[in-house]
């Protein structure tokens, strides 16, 4: 178990918090490209506990600035985009993508007052059909060129999951909680057409010979070896991504008690041919996994009709921030222990002025191997999860 102080250190994501400062050393996706249009050129964004507005001005520049205008605090979500930036709808104060104030219309002619006004603003990039934001100190690192994101022999699409009503670290711990797959998801597979299991307590756990976890420069590689001799390797990409089969599951820390999950899925061409590059990818939005959708456990009910709803149930019912001071870890939880130790170590690295694990600064970095091709070519497991 963890102390209360250790739990807070791992979970809180706001400015100045230990985990928040670590997470600010990485790029995070904030919206599909299609969500900014000429008709709707602004979008509210909450990321790492900060309220922000994403916008595209009439010159085509994309910016991410603080939501509340520096003048009187009205929301820039309702701002009017112009050639030079976004103007607050309340008094017209105009900001560019760097957060600099360009004009205060009601000030006297010749006033230079606007030069004293500066809004918080963050860099934005377009990549794999998404807008990404970096909230950390300059210079910004590169978005990692993971193999599954940069392969050119297939197509990609995006799946936006329902907002998860819990802290970001809960789903990340699940990424190294391998044994739950053979219990929760295998039993869930008892849906029509799924495998038949004699014991819903043990699920398919008796088909597994061992689990192993190895730290790599990209995060944690998980190995699951079945009793029939087959093995599966796929990684947790530190700090917020699970690379699973043909997808990356990106867990975006919205604030201390909410997490947005976006999947980037890759479909390789069967003949290995190159595909035409796409700027905008198809986007699918999953419907809520619980009813009522706006309530918390125990005042809502999860559908449990598939793997993702099962996971959301397990994560949310641990609480908005899981209380790790009362847990009882066991032998099967060694991956969770490894992740916690890694997080605490990398928080310390940031506090001592070093780049944390899995930060890349070379814009010409070659594709990063996540064992994607090898995993896809490996023989299938006895129970497909």
pLDDT score of 380? 53
Query: 241 φ, ψ to 5°?
Result: -130, 135
Confidence of residue 179 (pLDDT cuts 50, 70, 90): very high
- Residue 13: CB atoms within 10 Å: 26
CA gap 204, 196 in Å, rounded: 10
pLDDT score of 63? 98
pLDDT score of 268? 94
pLDDT score of 200? 82
Q: What is the mean pLDDT of residues 349-361?
A: 98
- Cα→Cα distances 168→23, 74, 243, 261, Å: 11, 29, 16, 9
Q: What is the mean pLDDT of residues 288-317?
A: 97
CATH 2.102.10.10 domain residues, the chain: 34-134
pLDDT at 194 over 60: no
Give the tokens for residue 42: 């602004």
Confidence of residue 248 (pLDDT cuts 50, 70, 90): very high
Which option is the CATH number for 147-377: 3.90.380, 1.10.3470, 1.25.40, 1.10.287?
3.90.380
pLDDT at 127 over 70: yes
pLDDT at 382 over 50: no
pLDDT at 385 over 80: no
pLDDT tens-digit map of 258-269 = 999 999 999 999
Confidence of residue 375 (pLDDT cuts 50, 70, 90): confident
pLDDT tens-digit map of 44-60 = 999 999 999 999 999 99
CATH number attached to the domain at 34-134: 2.102.10.10
pLDDT at 172 over 90: yes
pLDDT score of 190? 52
**Three-state SS letters, the chain:** CCCHHHHHHHHCCCCCCHHHHHHCCCEEEEEEHHHCCCCCCEEEEEECCEEEEEEECCCCCEEEEECECCCCCCEHHHCEECCCCEECCCCCCEECCCCEEEECCCCCCCCCHHHHCECCEECEEEECCEEEEECCCCCCCECCCEHHHHCCCEEEEEEECCCECCCCHHHHHHCCCCHHHHHHHHHHCCCCCCCCCCCCCCCCHHHEEEEEEEEECCEEEEEEEECCCCEEEEEEECCCEEEECCEEEEEEEEECCEEEEEEEEEEECCCCCCCCCCCCCEEEECCCCEECCCCCCCCCEECCCCHHHHHHHHHHCCCCCCCCCCCCCCHHHHHHHHHHHHHHHHHHHHHCCCCCCCCECCCCCCCECCCHHHHHHCCCCCCCC
Q: Which residue bears the tokens 């991504």?
A: 241
Confidence of residue 373 (pLDDT cuts 50, 70, 90): confident
Confidence of residue 84 (pLDDT cuts 50, 70, 90): very high
Q: What is the mean pLDDT of residues 176-198?
A: 76
Q: What is the mean pLDDT of residues 312-332?
A: 97
Confidence of residue 278 (pLDDT cuts 50, 70, 90): confident
pLDDT at 117 over 50: yes
CATH 3.90.380 domain residues, the chain: 147-377
Confidence of residue 366 (pLDDT cuts 50, 70, 90): very high
């Amino acid at each position: 178990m963890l102390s209360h102080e250790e739990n807070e250190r791992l979970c809180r994501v706001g400015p100045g918090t230990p985990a928040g400062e670590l997470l600010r050393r990485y790029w995070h996706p904030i919206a599909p490209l299609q969500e900014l249009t000429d008709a709707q050129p602004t979008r509210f964004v909450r990321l790492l506990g900060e309220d922000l507005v994403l916008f595209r001005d009439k010159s085509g520049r994309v910016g991410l600035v603080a939501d509340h205008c520096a003048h009187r605090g009205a929301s820039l979500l309702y701002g009017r985009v112009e050639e030079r930036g976004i103007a607050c709808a309340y008094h017209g104060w105009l900001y560019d993508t760097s957060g600099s104030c360009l004009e205060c219309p009601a000030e006297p002619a010749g006033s230079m007052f606007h030069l004293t006004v500066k809004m918080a603003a963050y860099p934005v990039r377009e990549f794999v059909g998404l807008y990404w934001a970096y909230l950390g100190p300059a210079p910004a690192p590169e978005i990692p060129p993971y193999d599954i994101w940069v392969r050119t022999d297939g197509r990609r699409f995006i799946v936006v999951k329902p907002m998860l009503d819990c802290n970001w670290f809960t789903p990340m711990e699940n990424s190294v909680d391998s044994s739950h797959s053979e219990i929760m998801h295998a039993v869930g597979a008892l849906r029509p057409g799924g495998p038949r299991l004699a014991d819903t307590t043990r699920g398919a756990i008796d088909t597994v010979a061992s689990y192993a976890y190895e730290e790599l420069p990209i995060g944690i590689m998980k190995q699951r070896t079945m009793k029939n001799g087959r093995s599966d390797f796929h990684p947790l990409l530190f700090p917020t991504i699970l690379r699973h089969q043909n997808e990356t599951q990106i867990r975006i820390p919205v604030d201390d008690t909410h997490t947005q999950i976006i999947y980037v899925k890759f479909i390789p061409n069967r003949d290995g041919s190159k595909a035409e590059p796409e700027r905008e990818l198809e986007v699918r939005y999953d419907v809520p996994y619980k009813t009522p959708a706006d309530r918390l456990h125990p005042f809502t009910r999860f559908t449990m009709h598939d793997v993702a709803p099962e996971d959301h149930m397990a994560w949310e019912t641990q609480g908005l921030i899981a209380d790790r001071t009362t847990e009882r870890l066991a032998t099967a939880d060694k991956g969770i222990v490894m992740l916690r130790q890694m997080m605490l170590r990398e928080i310390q690295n940031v506090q001592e002025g070093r780049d944390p694990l899995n930060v890349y600064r070379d814009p010409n970095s070659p594709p990063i191997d996540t064992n994607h091709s090898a995993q896809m070519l490996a023989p299938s497991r006895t129970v497909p999860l």
